[in-house]
């Protein structure tokens, strides 16, 4: 019985995802089986290899973006990347913003707020 579930997400920049994974202490591996409940695996274009018993599959969507699929059973994935990929998507958003800012010649800084939010400030030039 498969427990793999896809939550609608659109990852547009794999390099920003690699940076986000590194920040969370996990890694994005090409063509690595994605682990799930009771030893089940599924093939994936890329896999976010987690420390626990499950991983996250990163597969291309029809529109050129990438989606995320995982097995949420037991809270193993949520413990590492947040509920609904919350911490992973937050880190991805920050790294994507920094990459885009650099391309536009802007300076970006970030500050972690006490409530878990991340404040990103862009300076220099016109947006």
Work out the pLDDT band at 119, boundaries 50, 70, 90. Answer: very high
Work out the pLDDT band at 7, boundaries 50, 70, 90. Answer: confident
Q: What is the pLDDT of residue 8?
A: 87
The 10s digit of each residue's pLDDT in 21-74 is: 999 999 999 999 999 999 999 999 999 999 999 999 999 999 999 999 999 999
Query: What is the pTM assigned to this prediction?
Result: 0.91
Work out the pLDDT band at 2, boundaries 50, 70, 90. Answer: low
* CA-based nearest residue to 108, from 26, 28, 19: 19
What ranges do the domains of the chain cover? 4-123
Displacement of CA 4 from its chain's centroid (Å): 17
């Amino acid at each position: 019985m498969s427990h793999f579930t896809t939550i609608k997400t659109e990852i547009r920049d794999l390099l920003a995802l690699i940076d986000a994974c590194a920040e969370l202490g996990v890694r994005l591996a090409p063509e690595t089986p994605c682990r799930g409940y009771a030893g089940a695996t599924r093939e994936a274009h890329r896999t976010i290899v987690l420390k626990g018993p499950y991983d996250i599959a990163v597969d291309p969507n029809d529109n050129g973006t990438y989606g995320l699929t995982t097995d949420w059973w037991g809270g193993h994935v949520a413990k590492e990347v947040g509920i609904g990929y919350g911490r992973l998507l937050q880190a991805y958003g920050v790294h994507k913003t920094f990459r885009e800012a650099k391309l536009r010649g802007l300076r970006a800084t970030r500050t972690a707020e006490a409530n878990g939010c991340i404040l990103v400030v862009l300076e220099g030039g016109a947006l």
